[in-house]
A and B are shown apart, each in its own frame.
Chain A
Amino acid sequence: MNYNFGEIVEPPTRALIDENLPITIDLEIPNSLVLPPNINTLLIADTSYLSKLLKLCLVSEPMFSTKKNELTFYKLNDHYIVVCKLIEGVSIGKATEILMPWINLSEVVYAMTTSPLATYQNKSDSNMLMLSTDGNTCYPTLQVPNLVTGVTAGVFSYAKHVGKSCSLFIGYIDNTPLDSVNSKPFVELLRKIDLPPVRECVLQDRLPEHNLYM
């Protein structure tokens, strides 16, 4: 039954027409966010998968974070790690602007993200792919027409624009919970970029949330 009788319904469009996008909200930056004097390595990671992994095996107490923990900064010797967890409506551009002075100060910038395996187009023998501004090829290159979006893409674009060395790693993963098996490629990646895990990422037993089956 057509409930839209008499109403003008416009067909949808795949074009990213901005009238349909929500007005973005700004991040609230804490006063304690102070730029360090020097940064050896800056690692920016997004997606909840990587956030869990880094908290499990690499970082512990945050230095500071934005009001709703959209950006959380960690320090590990001369290395700085930023974990991004942007809520809907937060401007990616504004988040990248906060990270700009950090990127400018860093000697090396790395970005890590994940994407569902089902979205990958083209053929690839590896689930860990990368893009680099300076020809770094420690992993296979992300093939066309696949694109990366989000804060890591913002960071990479900015680094490319200002001529900063940056590598972006994309792990294509199945939709499974984090465990010691599926996290191995990421742990290996952390070792390759001189950020070896300080704790082991062990297989977690998942107790059922219901009592229907043992």
Chain B
Amino acid sequence: MCELIKFNKETSLKDYTLYIPNVSIGNVPQLTVDLLISTYNLKKIATVWHPAIIPTVGSDPFDLKSKDVCTACELYANEDLKVAVVQLRSGLERGLKEEFLKKLIANIKEFELKRIVLLTSIFAFEMHNVNSSKFMYISNENAEIFKDCDATEETNLDLVSEGFVCPLFTELKDSVPCTILTRYCYEGDNRLDAVHTINLLGDIFKEFTAKEDFKFPISWEYLFGNPVPIEIY
């Protein structure tokens, strides 16, 4: 079996913040990561391959002129902001998921990260208090950093049981500061959920400043399919 993460050059992620999206409702975490990459100019630094990752390939979703290709799971980083993200463009095969997560956890522990943020989303009808924030977090970080942010603290991991955030959080929280950030949302046009998530991440971790003009990736142009063909009229 080949190595899980292949860097395109010698790279150290020491003291970086790593964002990992969970495949969840509205694909909000994946949209958030896409928006982070295009707005804050993160560059691809590694490809991730494992038989558990359902394969998808395509052209570079961030640069029309690029001859590069994109695969199902890649690692992007910005050296100045010391931010790295994993982008997962498809799901994980159920029978092989555990093996993949074990390897991923082993690799992540070697990175000597400053913190890990696991992004996920759940249906808005799961909110118990409709007047509370649309964000919820579970974290082992110092509570001070969440003091002024618009998010509700939780401790019950069962609330975010879908996907792989629970096993990742459980295994990694003893080695590195770890946060699960959850967005309550519905399926639909979830681009605004991604924008709100990034703004909140900026408020909490102060790694990037909030933007008024986000740079949407070119791949979002056809988020809901082709325009209506004129021939039908």
Contact = CB atoms under 8 A, between A and B. Distances in A.
Interface of A: 10-19, 21-24, 91-94, 96-97, 100, 121-122, 131-133, 135, 141-150, 153-154, 156-158, 160-162, 168
A183 B46 CA distance: 38
Contacts, number: 147
A131 B69 contact: yes
A157 B61 contact: no
B218 interface: yes
A171 B60 CA distance: 19
A18 B97 contact: yes
B97 to A, nearest CB: 6
Contacts of B97: 18
Nearest to A118: B226
B14 interface: no
B69 A161 contact: no
A135 B67 contact: yes
A141 B96 CA distance: 32
B57 A93 contact: no
Nearest to A93: B51
A96 B187 contact: no
B57 A13 contact: no
Nearest to B67: A135
Contacts of A91: 51, 93, 95-96
Main secondary structure of the interface of B (DSSP, over half): loop
A161 B23 contact: no
B91 A143 contact: no
Contacts of A135: 67
Contacts of A141: 59, 67
7 contacts: A15-B24, A132-B67, A142-B58, A147-B57, A149-B54, A160-B47, A168-B57
Contacts of B91: 16-18, 21
Contacts of A18: 23, 91-94, 97, 163
B72 interface: yes
B209 to A, nearest CB: 28
Contacts of A153: 55-57, 72
A133 B8 CA distance: 13
Contacts of B230: none
